[in-house]
Structures are given as structure tokens and as C-alpha cells.
Amino acid sequence: MLKRFTFKKLGITTLLLLLALILYNYPEVINEEYIPEQCENINIYLIDKNDFVAMTEIETNNKNINDQIKEILNALIIGNNEEKLPEGFKAVIPRGTKILSYQLNDGLLKINFSREFLNSDEKDEEKMIEAIVFSLTSINDVKKIMIFVENERLTELPKSKKKLDLYLDRKIGINKVVDITSLNNTEMITVYYLSNLDNKYYIPISYITNDEGDKIEIIINNLKTNRLYSSNLSSHLDYQVELMNYEATTDEVILDFNDILLASVYKGKLKEEIKYAISYSIYDTLGIENITFQVNNQKIDEFRLES
């Protein structure tokens, strides 16, 4: 019994000495609390089940902008990182395409793809460009894009031969609906709707028209539930809501509605589906990020899009 007790005592003493040695040489092992790496979601535009280019999200651990650019580009290539894509969405850049290089400088992102990039089907090639441009300009520091294939600038779509501008930005439009009577005095207004599916996400529609009316009023009118473009789209903005007045500067838009909008206010906040749809639409059409919502000149909410 005495021998067993002595061995047990020696074992505990040895353990305590070992622990003291670890604490002395590596205090951070015990004293520094382990904090798991934080994930965040970044916006990406992919093809949905109804063949719209739609805005959804993928999860990332990357905080560095260049790493986020690479992650988005890889996710847009068919066959790459498909496990990261939300259910019901598919990538748009042809399988086997390689990213030869990319460089971001003063808001201009230059991307150089391998020749497989030219293998897109004609029906998908414009959607491919839209998805690339809208996905990457969701990153705050990316304002314009130039696309190269094997070091030569892409001047036209590979199959349809439709000309491309030197610099590509959101002015190219997305899911375009053309309703014009003349090629003169055309306007493009992008409106964000919700998908009409169980998993809600936003689908932008760019209307190209000869309508010379006020752009903000056109956005609100198109978001009303009695003015929807497609049965696959929905909106939470009641058809009886009226925009009474608004003020717009380069930094902010203040929207003043009638009291019907109050039915969409819960716990002092406007429904997110309405805030996001209006805010995304105004940002893509006018480039303004800060929106204040009022009812009868009384502020009910405010919102800023974080790119």
C-alpha cells in the first residue's frame, strides 16, 4: 500500500512540474483564449432554376479583397467549388476555364482567362458577362472590369458577336427587358424583386425603355405587387403604397410614403424585403447607398447598403 501511494504521489508531482514547465515556456497556450476563424457571406450572381441571373451568397473565410476576387471567380466556373454554391443555383463560366491572372488597381479589375472562356453557349454568354460584372462589383473596391482571354481584351461576345464596352460596370444591365419604340433617348432602370420560391433571394431586372419619367418613381411603381414583370418574381410592397415625395443628393435619398407603408413596419423597423429591394434598385440605377424611409414626413427607418 505504501509503495502504491508513493508511485501515485510521484506521478502527480511529475504532472504538476510538467504543467508548470508548459506555462512558463508557452503561456499563450493557456492564457490566450482560442477564437475560431470567423466566416462571412459575400454576394455572388448565379443562374437560378428559372434561368435568371440572381443574387445569392457564398460563405468565405477570406478578408483580403484579392482572395475574395479569386474565390468569386472560381465559384463562377462550372465544376469548381460546386459544393459551396447554394442549392438550385449553377455557375456560368465554361468548365475548364482557368484564371491566368487578375489585377485590381484604382477600382479597375483586369481579369485574364484561358481560351476555354470562349466556349460558352450563345444563349448563356451575355448572362456570363452579367454574372461576372455584378458579382465582382459587389466588392466595394471594384468599380469597373476589363476581361481578357489569353492576354487579348474581349471586345465582343464570342458567339453572338455583340460588342462590349472597354470598361464593364453595372450599366451593362442584367436580365434585360427591352421595351422601346426608338433607339433614341433610351433609359435603363434596374429593379430588384424577390424570387417566388421558398428560398428567398433577389433577382434584378434591367428595364430598357424610352420612358423619360422619374427613375425613383418608376422603381417604386414597378415594385408594387400589381406591376410585376413575371410570375416567377414577387414583391412585398403593397400596391396601395404611394411615394408622396422624395429628396435625392449624391449621398442619400429620402423617400416619403403614405401611411399604407406602416402596415409593413414591425417593432419599429421596415420589413427587410422592402428595404433591400428598394435600396438595391436605387443603388444599381443611381449609385446611391444611403436610403431614409419616411411616412408623412416622419422617419421610420434608414438603411445603408454595405458592399
Ramachandran bin of 14, using left for φ above 0, alpha for ψ from -120 to 50, beta for the remaining angles: alpha
191 against 228, higher pLDDT: 191
pLDDT tens-digit map of 203-235: 999 999 888 789 999 999 999 876 677 788 999
Average of per-residue pLDDT across 74-102: 94
In this prediction, residue 115 has a pLDDT band, given cuts at 50, 70 and 90, of very high
- Region 173-187: what's the mean pLDDT? 86
- Per-residue pLDDT averaged across 110-121, rounded? 97
At residue 196 the predicted structure's pLDDT band, cuts being 50, 70 and 90, is confident
Determine the Cα–Cα distance for residues 192 and 59; give it in Å rounded to an integer. 22
Helices 272-286, 215-223: crossing angle, 10 deg rounding: 150
81-85, 161-165, 186-190: which is most confident = 161-165
Interacting residues of 168 by C-beta distance below 8 A, sequence separation 6+: 129, 133, 144, 145, 146, 147
pLDDT score of 24: 52
The tens digit of pLDDT for each residue in 121-170 reads: 999 999 999 999 999 999 989 999 999 999 999 999 999 999 999 999 99
Residue 68 pLDDT: 94
CA 187/CA 209 separation, integer angstroms: 5
pLDDT (tens digit per residue) in 6-52 = 444 445 555 555 555 555 555 444 444 444 456 788 999 999 999 99
Lowest mean pLDDT among 90-94, 184-188, 278-282: 184-188
Task: State how far Cα 117 lies from the chain centre.
Answer: 22
Among the residue ranges 151-155, 245-249, 253-257, 264-268, the one predicted with the least confidence is 264-268
Estimate the crossing angle of helix 122-136 against helix 65-76, to 10 degrees: 160
| Residues 53, 171: Cα–Cα separation, whole Å | 15
Pick from 205, 212, 213: nearest CA to 229: 205
What's this model's pTM, rounded to 2 decimal places?
A: 0.83
Q: How confident is the model at residue 182 (pLDDT cuts 50, 70, 90)?
A: confident
Pair 73, 104: CB distance under 8 Å:
no
- Quick check: 5 pLDDT over 60? no
Written as nine digits, the cell of 243 is: 411615394
Closest CA to 272 of 175, 194, 190, 191: 194
pLDDT at 200: 84
- Report percent pLDDT > 90 for the chain: 69
User: Which residue would you say has higher pLDDT here, 39 or 86?
Assistant: 86
